[in-house]
Copies of this chain bind each other. A is one copy, B any other.
Amino acid sequence: MARPQVFNQQQVMAKAVECFWLKGYSETSLADLLTAMGISRSTFYNNFGDKRQLFRLCLQAYGQQTQHIIAMTLLSNKFSGLESIRQFLHLVLLAPTEEFSSRGCLLVNTLAETARVDDELNQLAKQLMQSVKLAFIQQLQKEFDQAASIRHGEWLFTQLLGWRLQTQLGIAKNILEEQIDWSLLQLKQPMK
């Protein structure tokens, strides 16, 4: 008894994610969003609240994609321990095309952009990133004791942040792979 929505909600959201992913929150204008999403101003405000609300939704959506990758690697039964972490890192850092990996990670980008400027969005991104660190630690517990797992997990997480920045600076893929291998190798060695 009413006109149905003509646009695909998820498809339009994906376009919005791409915008924010490319240029960040504040540098993405409403005009950018509207043309990319292919909807009118009115439709935008009727369906997504406002720019800020849409960004929250985009962070959530992106976070779920990340969860999906985590499920395929860190929580999968195909790999375990350090090997699952390697698979994860390869998938997020090495597998994407140059165009994609040069965008970095929306969550990390948001962390950097909103630090000391926008507490709410910063907290949100931070919270969504936690699951990665926790999944790291969880996997490490298969090979290390509790304390070492936490220590190593946080150490790897720090490096993930560094690698994410490096991909935006255009680091060569082979160097990146070398670094990942080297870092994981360190954890394999029995050491004090």
Contact = CB atoms under 8 A, between A and B. Distances in A.
Contacts of A186: 186
A69 interface: no
Interface stretch (A41-49, A76-84, A111-119): A111-119
A158 B166 CA distance: 7
A159 B163 CA distance: 8
A24 B178 CA distance: 32
Contacts of A112: 109, 112-113, 165, 168
A169 B113 contact: no
Contacts of A171: 158
Interface of A: 22-24, 26-27, 102-104, 108-109, 111-113, 115-117, 126, 151, 154-155, 158-163, 165-166, 168-169, 171, 175, 178-179, 182-183, 185-186, 189, 191
